[in-house]
């Protein structure tokens, strides 16, 4: 065996070793990115579960406050309960896109489609949620104004402060969720581009 053959064989072995190391790095990188996506999806899922629990707890709470304490109309409380159930149902529906336990080990193109769909649904929900919240707040204010009592006035002030705080926190939460959806989508696009 001459010197050139020996060097060529040595280079082939080095290339094979390098190729194996790169494949192992890709596997580790893929696993790390999938774990990161899973963690982000779990954060979104936990947020959705908290929202669902809160909306369902609002039904008995609003009964106590609106009917027993403030003596508002039963129609208003029923409408409030229906609105809370709609919010819980829509949140549950969208949570199905991120709550599959083995989702991140599946086909990334399918997962990417689900994330795009969930992000779009979350964004489009504002087209219902904002007008519904404004109508509900207007109705609540009208109901309280019918009371003509000092407690009703204080409740109106509390409603205004709560609405302002709710808008700030709601948009902050919405923006965070949209950002997390986009992170997952971008990571999937990076992985599938390779």
Q: Nearest Cα to 112, choosing from 179, 184, 42?
A: 184
In a domain, 77, yes or no: yes
Helices (H), 73-149: 74-95, 108-147
Q: Which domain holds residue 111?
A: 38-98+105-193
d(CA 6, CA 10): 6
Under the banding of pLDDT at 50, 70 and 90, the label for residue 38 is confident
CB 57, CB 87: distance < 8 Å: no
Q: Quote the pLDDT of residue 18.
A: 65
Task: Check whether 22 has a pLDDT greater than 90.
Answer: no
In a domain, 142, yes or no: yes
pTM for this entry: 0.78
In a domain, 1, yes or no: no
d(CA 19, CA 22): 5
Task: State phi, psi for 32 to the nearest 5 degrees.
Answer: -65, -45
Average pLDDT, the chain: 85
In a domain, 11, yes or no: no
Distant-in-sequence contacts of 4-7, Cβ < 8 A, 24+ apart: none
Q: Quote the pLDDT of residue 134.
A: 94
Domain total in the chain: 1
In a domain, 7, yes or no: no
In a domain, 19, yes or no: no
């Amino acid at each position: 065996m001459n010197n050139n053959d020996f060097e060529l064989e040595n280079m082939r072995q080095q290339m094979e070793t390098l190729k194996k190391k790169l494949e192992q790095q890709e596997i580790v990188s893929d696993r790390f990115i999938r774990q990161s996506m899973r963690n982000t999806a779990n954060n979104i899922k936990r947020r959705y579960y908290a929202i669902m629990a809160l909306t369902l707890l609002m039904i008995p709470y609003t009964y106590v406050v609106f009917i027993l304490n403030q003596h508002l109309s039963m129609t208003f409380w029923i409408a409030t309960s229906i609105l809370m159930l709609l919010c819980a149902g829509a949140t549950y529906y969208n949570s199905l896109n991120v709550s599959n336990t083995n989702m991140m080990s599946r086909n990334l193109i399918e997962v990417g489609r689900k994330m795009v769909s969930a992000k779009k649904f979350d964004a489009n929900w504002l087209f219902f949620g904002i007008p519904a919240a404004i109508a509900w707040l207007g109705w609540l204010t009208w109901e309280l104004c019918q009371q003509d009592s000092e407690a009703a006035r204080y409740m109106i002030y509390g409603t205004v402060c709560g609405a302002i705080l709710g808008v700030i926190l709601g948009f902050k939460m919405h923006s965070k969720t949209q950002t997390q959806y986009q992170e997952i989508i971008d990571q999937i696009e990076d992985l599938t581009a390779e």
